[in-house]
Amino acid sequence: MKEHRFLWIVLLLITLALVIIPLVIFLPKQAAAASDPWAGVPERPTHTDHTFLLKGPYETGQEVTRACLECHAEAAEEMMQTVHWTWESEPVLLPGRDEPVTVGKKNQINNFCIGIQGNWQKCTSCHAGYGWEDETYFETASQENVDCLVCHAQNGTYAKSDYGNPMNSVDLAAAAQSVGIPDRQNCGSCHFKGGGGNAVKHGDLDESLYWPSASTDVHMGSYDFICIDCHQAQDHEIKGRSISVSLDDANQVYCTDCHDDDLHQDERLNAHVETVACQTCHIP
């Protein structure tokens, strides 16, 4: 009798083991408690009213820049070191090349804007500077040629024309008095129309992002994010790359700058994060 009881106990333990062990191994595990994603979002600086600081009148964009530099003395020098100004990168090693290669808009042929002769009259209307005299010469050394307003004017009226100059209709004093941190309108004025039209060059960047719904962009639509909440700047160098496939890991923006990388309920999905970027699935 005791032998039968012992046998039943052994069989019961084996059965439980056969049931419980697979459940423990294969059932989705509860994700670890997430850290605070808001900790990665920078606190936006307090805005300074420039109404009485930049009275004008101003005849040219360069006059506005000279006024800005009276207080922001290092800003132009910083800007002139960035890809927004140089339109080229630090040399990077490309597949099939023995030596590092300098890439960027300045010396890159792509299948959006391909042509023997570039349309510099229009291309320069998105450059963050003044100083183009014609299609053959751009004066890059003068700090007064940095266009502060294209990134900082907030009154909604600033626009650039041929060769990067402000349109004649722009009230430069009003634009200067409105300056603040760059918002979606500032960034979108160039990036949403890359390649000459809305969403032409970058299919996920278009004018719908000026005032997006939550389904269009969860961060901008739900929480009123602006571009620089994620693409944060240091000394006017903005994180992120404009080309679709980055050549190195320098100066990148990652979802994990704010979010944990093991948020999924299924550990198989969490394993994907080791080799698959978040935006592959979440920004299709």
pLDDT digits (tens, 9 = 90+) for 195-243: 778 888 777 889 999 999 998 998 999 999 999 999 999 999 998 865 5
Chain segment 24-62, per-residue pLDDT in tens: 555 544 444 457 777 878 778 778 899 999 999 999 999
- The reported pLDDT for the residue numbered 22 is 57
- The reported pLDDT for the residue numbered 33 is 45
Where is pLDDT greater, at 202 or 276? 276
Give the residue carrying structure tokens 């994060």. 273
Q: Which tokens is 84 given?
A: 């927004």
For residue 126, is pLDDT > 60?
Answer: yes
- The reported pLDDT for the residue numbered 203 is 77
43-52, 117-126, 270-279: least confident range: 117-126
HEC assignment per residue over the chain: CHHHHHHHHHHHHHHHHHHHHHHHHHCCCCCCCCCCHHHHCCCCCCCCCCCCCCCCCCCCHHHHHHHHHCCCCCHHHHHCCCHHHHCCCCCECCCCCCCCECCCHHHCCCCCCCCCCCCHHHHHHHCCECCEEECCEECCCCHHHECCHHHHCCCCCCCECHHHCECCCCCHHHHHHCCCCCCHHHHHHHHCCCCCCCCCCCCCCCHHHCCCCCCCCHHHHHHCCCHHHHCCEECCEECCCCCCCCCCCCCCCCHHHCCCCCCCCCHHHHHHCCCCCHHHHHCC
Backbone angles phi, psi at 129, to 5 degrees: -160, 170
For residue 187, is pLDDT > 80?
Answer: yes
Question: Per-residue pLDDT averaged across 153-169, rounded?
Answer: 92
pLDDT band for position 13 (cuts 50, 70, 90) = low
For residue 152, is pLDDT > 90?
Answer: yes
For residue 93, the one-letter residue type is L
Where is pLDDT greater, at 276 or 188? 188
Instruction: Measure Cα distances from 254 to 38, 44, 173 in Å.
Output: 14, 20, 38
% of the chain with per-residue pLDDT over 90:
35
Chain segment 62-116, per-residue pLDDT in tens: 999 999 999 999 999 999 999 888 888 778 777 888 888 887 777 666 555 666 6
Domain spans, the chain: 49-214
- The reported pLDDT for the residue numbered 79 is 96
19-23, 170-174, 259-263: least confident range: 19-23
* Most trustworthy range by pLDDT among 98-102, 114-118, 146-150, 187-191: 146-150
